[in-house]
Amino acid sequence: MRILVLGGDGYLGWPTALHLSDCGHEVAVADNYARRGYDHELGVDSLVPIASMRERVEAWREVSGRTIRSYYGDLVDDDFAVEMLRDFRPDTVVHFAEQRAAPYSMIDRKHAVYTQHNNVVGTLNLLFAIQEVDPEIHLVKLGTMGEYGTPNIDIEEGWLDVEHKGRTDRMLFPKKPGSFYHLSKVHDSHNLEFACRIWGMRATDLNQGVVYGQQTPQTSRDPRLATRFDYDAVFGTVLNRFVIQAVLGHPLTVYGSGGQTRGLIDIRDTVECIRLASENPAERGEFRVFNQMTESFSVEEIAKVVANSYDGAVEVEHLENPRVEQAEHYYNVVHTGLVELGLQPHLLSNTLIESLFSVAEAHKERVDLGAMRPTVEWRKAASPLRADQ
Amino acid sequence: MRILVLGGDGYLGWPTALHLSDCGHEVAVADNYARRGYDHELGVDSLVPIASMRERVEAWREVSGRTIRSYYGDLVDDDFAVEMLRDFRPDTVVHFAEQRAAPYSMIDRKHAVYTQHNNVVGTLNLLFAIQEVDPEIHLVKLGTMGEYGTPNIDIEEGWLDVEHKGRTDRMLFPKKPGSFYHLSKVHDSHNLEFACRIWGMRATDLNQGVVYGQQTPQTSRDPRLATRFDYDAVFGTVLNRFVIQAVLGHPLTVYGSGGQTRGLIDIRDTVECIRLASENPAERGEFRVFNQMTESFSVEEIAKVVANSYDGAVEVEHLENPRVEQAEHYYNVVHTGLVELGLQPHLLSNTLIESLFSVAEAHKERVDLGAMRPTVEWRKAASPLRADQ
């Protein structure tokens, strides 16, 4: 199968491309390197050094004998989207190519507008490009569990059977996203469902949980194949940040009470979910949704897992929550679709966390402590960027 | 009360500004005149000639002695949004300033992207500008009944009490919009609800039905105060188009079986709804939704009303439906919120239609028959513009 991974230079896009290539697919990646640009803007960096795309592709050729083609461009440029599809003629397009940090979208007006414009217009261009080049192409689109928020009912996979005043309908699950970034994914989902409905497009929307881990069997074959490891308060995700804080003897920073619960997934499961969705495409006209997560934990519980696994003293510090979110809430998520396709989850275990500790240990001299303190305030329409403080 | 009407040069924005001014409010309008530009682009025009904003404001001053201030600018320009709010210091902002035609958004990729960018970014800029200038400002935002689509359950006013697997929550009503334009309004609604939730903004989202009629007590006081009367297949709405077709002895063009049912509202009720929403603002943090419509009719029924009211022979022609929509469906809408605030609906009556017939009769030499044929195809990702045919 020919698979094009958009955002193939990112934290998950790159390991996904390697996994798909390793499984025998013809893989190409595309990126505008915006994620590397955000590092420059915010004055932060991946804990683990990452090679350039040219070096990555060359290293993969050396260790695997397989070629990954690379496109440079921006989906907001519709000519680029069309020309790339014409050139590569994919069966499947995996779409990671969006600004993906909630705090980044909440910095100020400019970052909110950038996030929604970049994500929504990029995806719209992609929908039209697929129609123009080959409507048979299956789009595998990355969404987020954050689209749902924390409703007081079970979270189903994208659709909800509603009974109301004695009548019934199958409707899109009502969303209550928690940032302008999460909102952009909700907008994408609505646009995507419409494209399936009017054009007979085939699409899979993957509402992904918080991803943890940094290594896959492919990325660990050569240091040049490593993917990013973000720990800063804007792009870092909670478990990865706690691991680094533990290694540095820094308190684990829990926002608020830590009662807020989220779905999690191991990076090795993420790349496998993408393979499963790609190899089992949605039907023409089908808007298929999977909740791409394997377990739920509260932030407090994640802190405890990290503290208990680390071979040293770990403190937990509760910071005022910069986000607007429910501190205590119901959270029960249906996530059987990918398991039915064959996913065998890696559950959060000491083994994995220990490997994360050793990654953090190996690079701890690169840590910028200041970057871990939250500076983006949800309740304010404009937060100072770190550089301005 | 100081009320700023964005999109104040449009079909509904202008009569709204006059009604509010007539009721004693301090009114300003803002527009980028994009709607007049679409006429040039598509080679169409309002059936009723409309004066320039300068002439309109001057005519209103002459007949009423009241002043309406006018701002020229684009909400996509965030400086404009902030400076205008700083200058006028409104208590209420009424937001009509969006691209509002479903067929226009379905012409091709460029028009879809333009519509979502213009509407979503313009509204985002407005949300941030209100936060920056005065978070007490009440935003009255025009949405559309088309956000809901045609679900098989009753359509509630924005929110739905959901019971699922023995648990309950009050959730945003699930939406199934029918065009990239309608989608842009769904995106706006989600962004707006979030702004209420995190910033304590006060907002009223008005899901408006299809508006008919062309005169209000204010616009009929002077020909220079007239508002637009659109009948073309892109910007014209169904009842207005049928009236013109009847007057010309042209068959009424019903798309498909005509079983598709929509909510309707008289233009005189629209302007009154805006007054009621403005004078009874939402609370801080409240995302209040009203379904701004007074009656439901199928397209076939609307054709019959027009045919029966017209004093002459009227034929009905069924065209292949260029849109993707359900031909026969359940449609029952709750719309009590505005009535509880005091709305006394004008229901569709022969009287009104007769006044519409006389407007059409007076200007029938201006009709471009070709402009009434649908050229935009929902099922194709690109439709030829009339000028290219």
For chain A of 389 residues, list the mean pLDDT of each consecutive stretch of 10: 98 98 98 97 96 98 98 98 98 98 97 98 98 98 98 98 98 98 98 98 98 96 97 92 92 94 96 98 98 96 94 94 94 97 90 87 92 91 62
Give me the sign of the Cα torsion angle B101, B104, B108, B110.
negative
Answer yes or no: are the C-beta atoms of B280 and B199 closer than 8 Å: no
Taking CB atoms and an 8 Å cutoff, what residues of chain A touch B124?
Answer: 109, 112-113, 116, 180
Looking at residue A63, its amino acid is V
Q: How far off is chain B from A297, nearest CA to CA, in Å?
A: 21
Q: Give me the pLDDT at residue A384, please.
A: 67
**A101–chain B nearest CA distance, Å:** 17
Cβ-based contacts of B193 with chain A (< 8 Å): 176
Q: Which residues of B touch A186 (CB under 8 A)?
A: 187, 190
- Measured between beta carbons, the chain B residues lying within 8 angstroms of A111 are none
Nearest Cβ partner of A379 from B124, B198, B324? Answer: B198
Q: For residue B280, how many other CB atoms are within 10 A of its CB?
A: 14
- The pLDDT, as a whole number, for residue B389 is 38
Closest partner residue to A381 among B128, B171, B175, by Cβ? B128
Of A151, A165, A330, the CB nearest to B171: A151
Q: What is the pLDDT of residue A350?
A: 67
Contacts of A113 in chain B (CB under 8 A): 78, 121, 124-125
Binary contact (B190, A183; C-beta < 8 A): yes
- Chain B hits for A378, CB-CB cut-off 8 Å, are 198
**Residue of B74, B154, B164, B323 for testing the chain A interface, max A β-carbons within 10 Å:** B164
Q: What is the pLDDT of residue B89?
A: 98
Residue of chain A nearest B166, judged by CA positions: A153
Residues of chain B contacting residue A187, judged by C-beta atoms under 8 Å apart: 116, 120, 183, 186-187, 190
Indicate the pTM of the whole model. Answer: 0.97
The shortest CB-CB distance from B183 to any of A162, A178, A191 is to A191
User: Is B153's CB within 8 Å of A165's CB?
Assistant: yes
The closest of A338, A337, A274 to A23, measured between CA atoms, is: A274
Alpha helix segments (H runs only) across chain A: 13-22, 34-42, 53-64, 78-88, 102-105, 109-116, 122-133, 180-199, 238-248, 267-279, 299-309, 337-340, 350-362
Residues in CB range of B181: below 8 A, 6 or more apart: B99, B100, B101, B102, B104, B105, B106, B115, B119, B146
Residue B94 vs residues A150, A383, A389, B13, B201: alpha-carbon distances, Å: 32, 28, 37, 9, 14
Identify the active-site residue in A16, A92, A123, A144.
Answer: A144
Tell me the pLDDT of chain B (389 aa) as tens digits: 999 999 999 999 999 999 999 999 999 999 999 999 999 999 999 999 999 999 999 999 999 999 999 999 999 999 999 999 999 999 999 999 999 999 999 999 999 999 999 999 999 999 999 999 999 999 999 999 999 999 999 999 999 999 999 999 999 999 999 999 999 999 999 999 999 999 999 999 999 999 999 999 999 999 999 999 999 999 998 999 999 999 999 999 999 999 999 999 999 999 999 999 999 999 999 999 999 999 999 999 999 999 999 999 999 999 999 999 998 999 999 999 999 999 999 998 766 788 899 999 999 999 998 898 898 999 999 876 654 43
Catalytic residue from among A11, A71, A104, A181: A181
pLDDT of residue A355: 87
d(CA A16, CA A224): 15
Residue of A118, A175, A187 for testing the chain B interface, max B β-carbons within 10 Å: A187
Which position has the token pair 């309004």?
A: B185
Task: Please give the positions of B annotated as active site.
Answer: 144, 181, 185
Confidence at residue A136, expressed as pLDDT on a 0 to 100 scale: 98
Q: Which of B198, B325, B379 to mutate to test the interface with A (most CBs of A within 10 A)?
A: B198
Candidate from A168, A198, A382 with C-beta closest to B379: A198
Q: Using CB atoms, which residue from A109, A175, A176 is nearest to B125?
A: A109
CA distance B313 to chain A (A): 37
Residues of chain A contacting residue B162, judged by C-beta atoms under 8 Å apart: 153, 160, 162, 164, 174
Q: What pLDDT sits at residue A388?
A: 42
Separation between Cα atoms, residue B205 and residue A272, nearest integer Å: 42
Instruction: Search chain B and give the residue with CA nearest A171.
Output: B174
CA distance A191 to B342: 36
- Please give, rounded to a whole number of angstroms, the shortest distance from the CA of B191 to a CA of chain A: 7
Instruction: List the single residue in B with minimal CA-CA distance to A133.
Output: B381
Strand-pairing partners, residue B171, are B160
Distance of CA A350 to the CA centre of its chain: 23
Query: Distance from A122 to chain B by nearest Cα, in Å?
Result: 9
Q: Could you tell me which chain B residue has the CA closest to the CA of A82?
A: B109
Distance from CA of A151 to the nearest CA of B (A): 7
What is the H or E stretch that residue B255 is in?
strand B252-255
Residue A382: its pLDDT value, please?
86
CA B308 to chain A, closest CA, distance in angstroms equals 35
CB contact under 8 A, B171 and A174: yes
Burial of B101 (0-12, 13-18, 19+ CB in 10 A): buried
Closest CB from B153, B167, B191 relative to A162: B153
Would residue A304 show up in a list of annotated catalytic residues for this protein?
no
B77, B85, B113, best to mutate vs chain A, most A CBs in 10 Å: B113
How distant is the Cα of A330 from the closest Cα of chain B, in angstroms? 10
A-chain residue closest to B148, CA distance:
A171
What is the SS3 assignment for B206? strand
A vs B, Cβ pairs < 8 A, gives 150
Specify the pLDDT at position B369. Answer: 86
**Is A171 in Cβ contact with B151 (below 8 Å)?**
yes
DSSP A155: B
